[in-house]
Structure 1
Amino acid sequence: MKREIHKCAYLLNAVYDYSTKRSTLNASSGFTILFAVLVASLLFSLGLAIAHMSIREILLSVAGKESEYAFFSADTGIECALYWDINAGKTELVFPSAYDDIGRAFIGCNGAPNVSVSFVSGNTAAATSTFTLDFTPKGCAIVTVGKTVSGFTVIESRGRNDCGVGPNPARVERALRVRY
């Protein structure tokens, strides 16, 4: 019996030690939870920052693609005007100068056989004509050809990614100018 009492006292002592350790664990577990919350919030903030940067990079990539449509539209407009002014202009008048009559009414560019060339203005010093090209899947170019009495030609092509009439905040325009 004495042995059982001793065993029981030992068990009570162990329970007492356990509860003491447990109360010690509660104090350190509060610090552990605080540290875990701090690390989790730090990782969450880092994840949000990375997501924000990724979204901005995606928007920049989309803007770059739209800018590419506008640039290549402007480039195609310049190439078309140069072809008709330099190559075809040797045999026939395409874009009038200050002392020429009105030039050709239609040209063919980029697979479109009947692109209308409009005479915009003219005086004794210079003449200006313009035409518009539409591209698929998107884009257009508004090309202006100006010829001066001194023999200079200025071709300006304004390419756009969207050729709608109304306001569009996503519209991108790129312009190229050639002078010779």
Structure 2
Amino acid sequence: MMKKFSISNLRFSINGGFTLLLAVLFVSAFLALSLGLSNLIIGQIQLSGTGRDSQSAFFAADSGAECAVYWDRSSGSFSTSSPSTITCAGESRPVGGAPTSSFDLNFSNGSCVSVVVDKSSPSETIITSIGHSPCNGRKVERGLEVRY
């Protein structure tokens, strides 16, 4: 047996949708606030990652420059007349025998360095060390130049 409903028994109130409207406005404001806050947090996380990579790249550049200065000052490994082998960060690299020598090193933290030693001027040695972090893909580069 089916029950019959009559439309004439329904009562409509002018204030009937106010609570629903207030709830929708409150949820919308909360959603907008949370999206803005999450966008700010994501930006800060990316910025801190860039700072970490910048620090690693700088330390890689510093390590490469220090290694080149050490081997040049202690044993003249970057001589323009005869080639030799240097060892930095556990890696052996052939250098020397030309006015300009270059070598690359990889470090255990994922950073690397490219070092160029220029002895083309007899009165000055220029060491250019460019650190990268990470070594591939989107990377941060920091460089140092040593003159003596």
TM-score scaled by length of structure 2 = 0.79
Show the counterpart of 1:151. Answer: 123
Where do 4+ consecutive residues of structure 1 move more than 6 Å?
Answer: none
Deviation at 1:29, TM superposition (A): 4.3
5+ long unaligned stretches in structure 1:
1-21, 122-126
Show the counterpart of 2:81. Answer: 101
Aligned pairs for 1:1-180 (under 5 A) are 26-86=13-73, 88-89=74-75, 93-96=76-79, 100-103=80-83, 105-112=84-91, 114-117=92-95, 119=97, 121=98, 127-164=99-136, 168=137, 170-180=138-148
* Residues 75-108 of structure 1 deviation map (CA, whole Å, 9 limit, x = unaligned): 100111111122x13xxx3112xxx4124x2112
Show the counterpart of 2:5. Answer: none
Q: Alpha carbon RMSD of aligned pairs, Å?
A: 2.2
Alignment length (residue pairs): 138
* Residues 106-160 of structure 1 deviation map (CA, whole Å, 9 limit, x = unaligned): 1122233x222255x5xxxxx2111221111312111111124341111101111
How far apart are the structure 1 equivalents of 2:116 and 2:106?
15
TM-score scaled by length of structure 1 = 0.67
5+ long unaligned stretches in structure 2:
1-10
Aligned sequence identity (%):
40
